[in-house]
Amino acid sequence: MSDFFVLGEHDLTLAEIRIILADNKKLKLAEKAVNAIINCRKFLDEHIQSSEAPIYGINTGFGSLYSRNISKADLEQLQSNLVMSHACGTGPEIDKRIVKLMLLLKIQSLAYGHSGVQLETVQRLVEFFNADIVPVIYESGSLGASGDLAPLAHLSLPLIGKGEVHFKNEKISGEALMAKMQWEPIHLKAKEGLALLNGTQFMNAFGVHAVLASEDILNWANTISALSLDAFDGRPEPFDSKIHLIRNQDGQKIVAKKILELLNGSEIINQSKVHVQDPYSFRCIPQVHGASYDAIDYVRKIIGKELAGVTDNPNIFPEEGEIISGGNFHGQPLALSLDFLAIALAELGSISERRTYQLISGSRGLPDFLVMNPGLNSGLMIPQYSAASLVSQSKQLCTPASVDSIVSSNGQEDHVSMGANAATKLYKVVENTYQVLAIELINASQAIKFRRPLKTSSHLEEIIRNFRLEVSLIEDDRILHHDIVKAVRFIKNNLA
């Protein structure tokens, strides 16, 4: 198996990104991409030499300065000025994993040959990715409309020997990076700065991260909820396929089938039940998890289309001999989708916390707070508080960013998506949901102890055995923060 992934041969997919990340693959440009980049740049250079007509961002100013013509002698300085002046990010640094995704997505977009960049510029970005050179990028500053201008400016600064990067466990300047790697800074030609800065790669990198995480989160939510259902001595009837066929919601049918598969062979689920009905947090798992399944599926499609897109401006069509200024950098498709995904994940956390609450409530023969020596020990009383706090915060973060817009650039950029804010909020909701599910897993695996000698299904018993290698049964009070950290790590590092 090759250590390299060839980029630009075809549209990049989410499944391929998962492989690139999991296998720590390096990138290589396909011959098709190299030729497309070279041909596009050649067309643009010839056009600039042969025409005096104004072309936005190539021989004009930017934003509301579009009417200012720039002389041919100043075209390269114009691009460097653009990158420097737009590097206005604020707030904390973003996760290095997101920056690596930004590099990947920017390279992919430029590889289509509609952006007018030099081949050496794209190759340098590939070298950044392959050498784990991670530009320092800040959380705030993008309106998600003229592209992710500020974050992408910070991504681009090291190309010209400016800004900062993380490299070999150090944070160093772009100038120091050039010296270490014995590189010359890239001399940006006409249009290149605009090609680098216009684009949705900040928003979409967060989107890719969230979709890949949400697929894992949903699988764990189903598995943990099945374990909780058995620990609560719940009923199997609400998962009968006949119920879900007559409602005809795809996600609901899939989840109901999955829960029954997870519980197949359980001694607990098959024993006779005293109670007639279960609370909604158990009985409505297919309806709630299923709705999130459908939402994740929708967002996956939107993110997938964005991976196969060119989102800078203007766009260059060498075959047709055209340069067209439009608005592919506008993040509205992502903004709406990222807000939607945050809601879907927050709901998985919300219903999970309710199941945790039911497990510690002293119902169905389980002791209060699942404690073995109550009074002296508080047991699992307070992790539910933590879950409630996380769920409440996620609800607050689900206020949609995409309904907001603030005019910028003297009214020229008069409607923006705020997709970058949707993206960074979503990142926090993803992390919160992991933690809420980890707390439910701690409670469900603890509660199963009180159903012994009966066993749950062989698959769930194996989950418990593996989990116990990380988090032991709680017999006496201890610092549960450490257990939660280990449980989150267990979920992130293992398949459900």
Which has the closest alpha carbon to 195: 117, 257, 259, 253?
117
CA contacts within 13 A on the Cβ side of 282: 23
Determine which one of 198, 315, 328, 432 is catalytic. Answer: 198
Backbone phi, then psi, for 164, in 5-degree steps?
Answer: -135, 155
Rounded to whole angstroms, the Cα distance separating 490 from 496 reads 10
CB 328 within 8 A of CB 317: no
Rounded to whole angstroms, the Cα distance separating 183 from 189 reads 18
User: Coil, helix or strand for 340?
Assistant: helix
Rounded to whole angstroms, the Cα distance separating 230 from 460 reads 10
Determine which one of 62, 129, 329, 369 is catalytic. Answer: 329
Cα distances (Å, whole numbers) of residue 235 to 212, 264, 352, 361: 32, 13, 17, 18
CA 85, distance to chain mean position in Å, is: 28
413 an active-site residue? yes
56 an active-site residue? yes
Determine which one of 41, 47, 86, 209 is catalytic. Answer: 86
CA 356, distance to chain mean position in Å, is: 26
User: 């998985």: which residue's tokens?
Assistant: 348
CB 372 within 8 A of CB 447: no
Determine which one of 283, 317, 459, 461 is catalytic. Answer: 283
Give helix then strand counts, H and E, for the chain: 19, 9
Residue 119: CB atoms within 10 Å? 17
Going 173 to 96 to 488 to 432, the CA torsion angle's sign is: positive
Determine which one of 5, 66, 280, 317 is catalytic. Answer: 280
Determine which one of 41, 43, 56, 421 is catalytic. Answer: 56
Cis peptide before 453 (omega within 30 of 0): yes
Q: Which residues on neighbouring strands pair with residue 262, listed in sequence order?
A: none
329 an active-site residue? yes
86 an active-site residue? yes
Cα distances (Å, whole numbers) of residue 349 to 14, 225, 292, 430: 24, 11, 11, 9
Determine which one of 306, 353, 413, 440 is catalytic. Answer: 413
280 an active-site residue? yes
Backbone phi, then psi, for 419, in 5-degree steps?
Answer: -65, -25
Rounded to whole angstroms, the Cα distance separating 121 from 29 reads 12
Residue 326: CB atoms within 10 Å? 10
- 180: which 2 tokens? 């270490």
Residues in Cβ contact with 307 at an 8 Å cutoff, skipping those fewer than 6 apart: 11, 12, 13, 14, 17, 105, 108, 204, 208
CA gyration radius for the chain?
A: 26
Active site residues: 56, 86, 198, 280, 283, 329, 413
